[in-house]
Structures are given as structure tokens and as C-alpha cells.
Amino acid sequence: MEFSVNLFEGNWLKSSVEIALAIIILFKIPIMRIKVSLFACAVISVIWHLSAPETISAASFSWRFLLLESLRYLSWIIVLLYLLMLSRQSKLPNSWAYSLYTALAIILTLFIYNIDNDALFPSPVLALYLKIMLSLLGVVVCEQLIRDDHSSRMTKLVALVAFILFAYDIIVFSLLLLNSDLHLSLWKARTVISSVTSLILALSIIFYAGQLKERSRFKLSNSVIIFNTSLTVVGGFLIVIALFAATFDYFEISWLSASKVTLYVLAIFSLIALSLSEKIRDSFVVWTSKHFFAHKYDYKKQWIQLDALLSTQHKNQNCYDISLNALKTIFHCNAGGIWVKGQQFYTSVATQGIDYSGSLPIEPHHSDLIEKLEQEEWIFQASTYETKYDAQYKSYLSDWVLNIEGIWIILPLNSATGLIGFAVLCKNNLNKKEKLTWEDLDLLKLTGRQIASYISKEQASEKLIQNQQFDMFNKISAFAIHDIKNLIAQQGLVVKNAEKYKHHPEFIDDVIATIANSVNKMDQLLKKIKGEVESKTINLHELLKQAIKMNMNGLPSPTFSTDCESAFINGDSDKLLMAINHLIKNAQDATDDDGEVNLHLRCQEQQIWIDIIDTGIGMDQSFIKNELFQPFNSTKENEGMGIGAFQIREIIHGLNGELIVESTPKIGSKFSIYLPMLS
């Protein structure tokens, strides 16, 4: 079969870049599907370069060349889609793959069948539009690739190369549609651009093929994105015009006649619609006002003013008063009020200058007024201002609303969670001619949403503060109950032994000491509840020895060791002693009588560590993470409130320290207390 293309030396030389590109692709691209698709694209580019006519002649509009250009575009689109799927770590949808490969197979078969056929395509104009459509599809895929955050550097370079080819072809074909006398240099530049972009692509593969799956930081600027979108829109517009042109040619209708008929039909329809429908008239007025006339408000200034009013804090004013002042200032009102959603009703939380008469100023949750405010964000206007739309909803208003003197509007306060409340604004000397325009309504709704967001944020902050205060109260209560339990145990032991040992002087001395200790503990407890913290220098050697002595009656007996010459900290000695006592007691409870419980004091530069180590039953990591420090969760039946470990950690944190737990089931546990050394 004779290949009727120009195979002289010059064309082979021009396509040498594409040939080199194909060879580089075979050896450099690691991913098989990308390698095959890019290699096929390069081979088709070689054939296209050899076959491209030197001038705009009949060969430019032959069946053979149209099919070859279609093959070139489709091969590029397949490459780009594979790269896009690689960037998104997904597979090309089966429907897309089947459609593309079917189209590619059909076009390839037709190209081989017509390889020696110089017959012209029936409609050169339609051929140009088909090429523009394929180029536009390629531009869209290129934009997706370049904008994708996960695309590699090489992927983005391939997309840029393809974008240059597609964009230039759209420009050339559009100029051919508008003017058949296209300058020859623009046509010849297609092959030059193909060679240059192939060279860029070859270099990018050489340098970046190994980074095909790596993420690139390259991003498009807004101006490039706008240009790309504009190019796509222009191409789409040309295609639509082509379809109209083909339809007019088929029915032998002139453009002038079609334009006249279209103009008459649109004019008649517009006149009828504007005459019969007030809603369409209102929409038309709003649309023209928005797009063709100067705005009533400078929205930037309004926004800055609102932000400044809400940000300014005033003494003796809560968020509701601040919000009401902002609304009054922006809309020049002399009085108003804000109602906020409660459990059953919307009740007044801030009022200025409003005089109620008659019924109580509350609004049920499910009243018609509330549903209208929430569902449609409707702004109710006073009777002086009301339109016919307001008149039909006037029955929704409660008596207390109608009785407010000088009422102007009811403004919904809608946040992301729904209607949180509404505002009533009043004005003196209402002007009947001054109607609310679309700009007034837009500004009112925008301000209402911002006020609602501000109030919601302040309510959440206030609730958080209250929860923190209750949390602190609960902690203090829990600590107090724990301390009282210990004092009751001490006093109970005295009462239990009183009958037996009441005549022994030693017992009487012990009772007096126990009562004195209890009185001291109660005094300390009262100081804690009042927030009076006694801070003093603590000698840890003495404190730990005291803790050892207090727990010598338990088994196993604790031992003490240290490598510190001196260790002093600043804090509440009673609290720290209580914490260490508790840890020693827990270690004894968890260890067999023949086991070990050791206290070790060590110093590292300005750090002090107290280690309480036992050979007891130990704990698993799940228990340490999820249960050990949970308050009111005790593992000991019928003993206390279960706040020991939690309270110990809070005491250590109060000394600017840390409590670190290491434990292994059936081997033992280690509680390490870090404390900052006193300078």
C-alpha cells in the first residue's frame, strides 16, 4: 500500500523531535498504562507531522487528514485522563474507557481505510467545528490536571504542553471560520509548536519521570484560570452558532429573517409577561437595578461598621444590648428589641425605647410568625410600609407586636442552626413613600445573619464558662467528700475503740491527737473550698520519710531510696503528702504481702522525680488510658467515691508537675511524679 504523504527528508527531519520523544517514553516512563498511551500519542504525532499540509489547501480538509487530527486529539485526551486518574489515585470509569477506545478504534479503522483517499470532507466548516470541540474537551481536562493539588510536576508539564497545542488550534480554526484567508505563517506554526512542545515534554520526562507520583506545588493563578474558562466559553459559543447556522442552511432560512422572527417573538413574550405578571415585573426591576444602576449602599463600609459595633465592648452591656445598639445605629432607629429562643417561647432579652401595652410580649416556638421568619427569612414590614405581600401575612402577627408604637420591621436572626431569635426595630415619623427596596432587604438579611452568628458565638462562650465553673465546683465537692470520708473513718475508729480503751491514758492522748488532726484537716478543707491555698517550701526528703512512716503498718512495707543531696519545691505540703500516701496505699493494695513497694527520689538538673514502684498485679494500657484517671470510677467495691487517681493527678498539676504511669499486667506498676525544683 502506498502511503500518500510527503516522506521527503525535510519532513522526517521536522518529526525527529517526536521520534526522539517516543524513544524516551519507552525507556523512561515507569507506569505501563502511561507509557503505552504516551508512546501511542507520540507515534500519532510523528505521522501527523509527516502528513501535515504545508499550505491551507484541499488536503487540509480531506477525510484522511481530518481522521488523523481526530486521532491526535483523542490520543492526547486519553493520556491526560490517565494522568488525571493517577493524580486522584482512581481508575478511569469503564463507560469513559469503552467510549474513548471505541471512538479511537473506529477513527483508526477509517484512517487506515482512507489512507490513500484524497476525497474532501463534505463540509469544511463542520470539520473545523469538530476539531474545535475536541480541542475544547482537551482544554477542560488540562485545566483539571493543572488545578489538581495531587498532580506531579511532570503531570502538570504534560498538561501545559497539551494546553498550548489545544489552545493554539482553537485560535487557528476560529480564525479560519471567520476569515478563510488565514495568514500562511499561522498555519505553518502548528508544526513548529508541535516540535517545540514535544521537546519540552521530552525534557520533562528525562528530568521528572521518576517523580510521576510525587505531589507538585505548582498552581494556576486566577488570571490563567479565567483565561482558560473564557476560552472554553468562546469555543462553546462558536459551536452553538455553528449548530444554528447548519439548521438555517438546512431549512434555507436567512440570518436576517431568523433574527427578525426571534426578536418579534421575544418582544411579544416579554410584553405579555411584564403586563400580566407582577412577580415578573418585580424580578425584572430588581435584576436591572442590581446590574445597571448604582447601589444605594456601600456594602464594604456597612460591613466594617457592623464589625466595629459588635467588636466594641461596653461596661454593663451583654451581647444582646451590643447587638441591639448595632442594629439601631446601622438602620437609624430610635427604639427596638431582641427576642431569643427559649425552651417554649421567644422572650425579650434586650429592649430600648419600646412601650408594651396589652398582652405579654412572648412568641410561641411554632407560631405562624416564627415559621415564616425561619423558613423564608421573611422580613415583616409595618403597616405604614407594608406591601401587598406583607398584608396577606398580617394575620400572623401577635397582638403585642401590633401594639408596639412606631414599629418599622421584624427582622429574623437566622444562624447556621436555624432561627435563634428576631429583632423588632422602631422609627419615628415613618414616611409612607419610603418603601424597602431589594438593597434594603439584602442588607437587613445580611445584618440579621451576622447578628445571629455573633449572638450564637457569645451564647456558646457563656455556656462554656458556666460549664467550667460547674466543673470546678464538682471537683471541689468531690475532693471534699473524699477528705470527709477519711476523717469519718478516723473518728469512727476512735468511737469503735473508746469502750475498750477509754481508761487508758495512752488512748486518751491518741484520741486528742486524732481530734486535733481532724480539726486541722477540716480547717484545711475549708480553706480549699474558699480557694485559700497555702504555699510553702517543702523538703521532699522529710515529706517522703513521713509518708513511709505513715504506711509502715501496711504490707508490703514501703522502702525509700534517693540519689539527691537536697530536694526542695514550693507548694501545698498537705496536698502532696496526701497524693503520695494514696499512691503508696494503692501500691500496697495491688501487691502481695511478700512483694515490694519502693519509693525512689532522683534529681536531674532542675527536675525532681519521685518514683513509686510496686511488683503488684499491674494494669493494661487500655485501663490506664480510658479508666484510671476517670473521676467517680472506682475499682474497689464499696470504697469511696473513686476519685483517688484523678485527685492525685490534679494535685500534681497544681504544683506545675506531671504524673506518668508505666505498668505491665502481672509484673507491676511505676508511678513517676515530675516536680520543678525550687531555685
Residues 99/188, Cβ–Cβ less than 8 Å: no
Q: Regarding predicted confidence, which is higher, 395 or 25?
A: 25
Strand partners, 414: 419
pLDDT digits (tens, 9 = 90+) for 280-296: 666 665 555 555 444 55
3-state SS of 439-508 is HHHHHHHHHHHHHHHHHHHHHHHHHHHHHHHHHHHHHHHHHHHHHHHHHHHHHHHHHHHHHHHCCCHHHH
| Fold exhibited by the domain 533-676 | Heat Shock Protein 90 (3.30.565)
On the question of pLDDT at 43 being above 80, the answer is yes
- Domains 9-250 and 533-676 equal at CATH topology level: no
Q: Exposed, middle or buried by CB within 10 Å (0-12, 13-18, 19+), for 65? A: buried
Distance CA 634, CA 614 (A): 20
Distance CA 127, CA 124 (A): 5
CATH 3.30.450.40 is the classification of domain 300-453: yes
pLDDT digits (tens, 9 = 90+) for 215-234: 554 454 545 555 555 556 66
Mean pLDDT computed over 82-97 = 81
Q: Regarding predicted confidence, which is higher, 479 or 70?
A: 70
Q: Regarding predicted confidence, which is higher, 386 or 371?
A: 371
Mean pLDDT computed over 180-197 = 77
CATH fit for domain 9-250, picks 2.50.20, 1.10.238, 1.10.3470, 1.20.1070: 1.20.1070
Strands, DSSP E only, in 246-343?
335-341
Mean pLDDT computed over 500-519 = 77
Residue 652 in grid coordinates: 500534681
Span of 274-283, 324-333, 406-415, 651-660 with lowest mean pLDDT: 274-283
Residues 384/430, Cβ–Cβ less than 8 Å: yes
Banded pLDDT at 5 (limits 50, 70, 90): very low
Distance CA 129, CA 469 (A): 72
> Which residue type sits at 342?
G
Cis omega before residue 556 (within 30°)?
A: yes
For cell 469519718, the residue is 488
pLDDT of residue 151: 73
pLDDT digits (tens, 9 = 90+) for 147-186: 776 777 778 888 888 888 888 888 888 778 766 566 777 7
pLDDT digits (tens, 9 = 90+) for 514-571: 787 777 777 777 766 665 556 788 888 999 998 898 888 888 999 999 988 888 888 8
Q: Regarding predicted confidence, which is higher, 471 or 457?
A: 457
Distance CA 347, CA 335 (A): 17
Check residue 632 and give left, alpha or beta (phi > 0: left; psi -120 to 50: alpha): left
pLDDT of residue 667: 92
Percentage of the chain beyond pLDDT 90 is: 6
pLDDT of residue 638: 43
pLDDT of residue 366: 84
DSSP state at residue 578: H
Residue 522 in grid coordinates: 477540716
Mean pLDDT computed over 646-656 = 85
Distance CA 657, CA 126 (A): 81
Banded pLDDT at 3 (limits 50, 70, 90): very low
Return all residues near 134 (Cβ < 8 A) that are at least 6 apart. 70, 73, 74, 77
Distance CA 447, CA 211 (A): 50
pLDDT of residue 611: 93
Domain regions of the chain by residue span: 9-250, 255-292, 300-453, 533-676
What is the helix (H) or strand (E) element at residue 597, kind and residue range? strand 597-604
pLDDT digits (tens, 9 = 90+) for 430-466: 665 566 777 778 888 888 888 888 888 888 877 777 6
pLDDT digits (tens, 9 = 90+) for 349-382: 888 888 766 667 888 888 888 888 888 888 887 6
Grouping H, G, I as helix, E, B as strand and the rest as coil, residue 19 is helix
DSSP state at residue 632: T
Distance CA 564, CA 598 (A): 16
pLDDT of residue 554: 84
On the question of pLDDT at 670 being above 90, the answer is yes
- C-alpha 491, offset from chain centre: 59
Mean pLDDT computed over 44-58 = 79
Residues 334/422, Cβ–Cβ less than 8 Å: no
> Which residue type sits at 272?
I
Residues 324/423, Cβ–Cβ less than 8 Å: yes
Distance CA 72, CA 69 (A): 5
- Taken in order 569, 574, 575, 576, is the CA torsion positive or negative? positive
Mean pLDDT computed over 239-255 = 66
